[in-house]
Amino acid sequence: MLNQLLPWASLLGPALGALVALVGWFVLHRSNVQRDRENKRRELITTYLLEAYRRMETAANREDKTEEQAVAFESAIADIQLLGSPAQFAATLKYIDARAGSGEQDEVGIGHVLGLLRDDLRRELGLEPLIAPPRFFRFVRELGRGDWRGNPIPTTPLVRGGGSYTK
């Protein structure tokens, strides 16, 4: 029997090498696909949460929000509930409950949610952590005088209760 395998022995080494290379390529390819998929997922979540932070910060602590700001704020809340961490989700729900009057009696500000978003985004982007809570800078406007260009300021009154905005 050994005499019958002897002619094939010269092909056995290269065939075994090709098999090892093929298995190695397959394992490496699957590993790269999984890594690329994970990187894309993290990139998408980071992008969505960064945009949610910007939309939320734009509308935060404004007495009168425009319809556009109100819709953007609601969209940011939805994005955080969909893609945020458990801590971000819990802080967002606490804010929503406080705003709707069904939650805790003390006023819960959106700054806590923004702080959590900021901290997680900075960590994800490899930036140093910040200790101070976020602060909001707003120009004081007189509604009768318009914006800084003198244009009228459109406003949307906030209706408490269902979290909805009406004109």
Residue-wise pLDDT for 31-90, tens only, equals 999 999 999 998 999 999 999 999 988 888 777 778 888 889 999 999 999 999 999 999
Q: Is residue 113 part of a domain?
A: yes
110 found inside a domain: yes
Entry pTM: 0.62
Domain presence at residue 157: no
Structural domains of the chain, count? 1
Domain contains 58: yes
Find the helix packing angle between 111-124 and 9-59, rounded to 10°: 150
The domain in which residue 32 lies consists of: 2-124
What percent of the chain is predicted at pLDDT more than 90? Answer: 35
Evaluate whether residue 146 is within a structural domain.
no
H-helix or E-strand spanning residue 124: helix 111-124
Instruction: Identify whether 87 is part of a domain.
Output: yes
Structure tokens at 9: 């022995």
